[in-house]
Structure 1
């Protein structure tokens, strides 16, 4: 099973992919999202790293994001970030 993940900025859909896990830098602390995670929303920290694990045990891809929020629902994880830096 895979988690459907979308990363969106005001300018464009930055990424839409099926991944194993994403670690999100929430304002109340980092949290990992896997397939089947409970629905939730969180605001994001400024200038923090979003970690994307393509497969279990893989080295994470790190993207710096600035502000925004994340939503987990039955469709997967959507991160709406003000800015993304590779």
Structure 2
């Protein structure tokens, strides 16, 4: 099973892929999302989104500035104000 992950900015779709897990820099602290996660919405602080393509893999990191994260039955969508780099 895989988590469908999308990273979007106001300008474009940055990433859309199936991954193992994503760690999100939530405003109340970091949280990890796997396939089947309970639905939620969270604001995000500036920080690093860590993307694990497979179980046990080293994470790929993407720096973001603020935004929102939504987990629903389709997967995880991050609406970032800006992607840095």
TM-score by length of 2: 0.98
**Residue of structure 2 in register with 1:27 after alignment:** 27
Query: Which ranges in structure 2 are unaligned for 5 or more consecutive residues?
Result: none
Question: Which structure 1 residue ranges, 5 or more long, are not aligned?
Answer: none
- Superposed counterparts of 1:6-45, under 5 Å: 6-45=6-45
Alignment of 1:80 with 2:79, yes or no, is: yes
Q: Give the number of equivalent residue pairs.
A: 85
Residue by residue over 1:30-80, the C-alpha shift from the partner in whole angstroms, topping out at 9 and shown as x without a partner, is 00000000000000002x000000000000001000010000000000000
Q: CA deviation at 1:83?
A: 0.7
C-alpha RMSD over aligned residues: 0.6
Q: Distance in 1 between matches of 2:12 and 2:62?
A: 16
Indicate the SS of the match to 2:37: coil
TM-score by length of 1: 0.97
1:85, CA displacement in angstroms?
Answer: 2.2
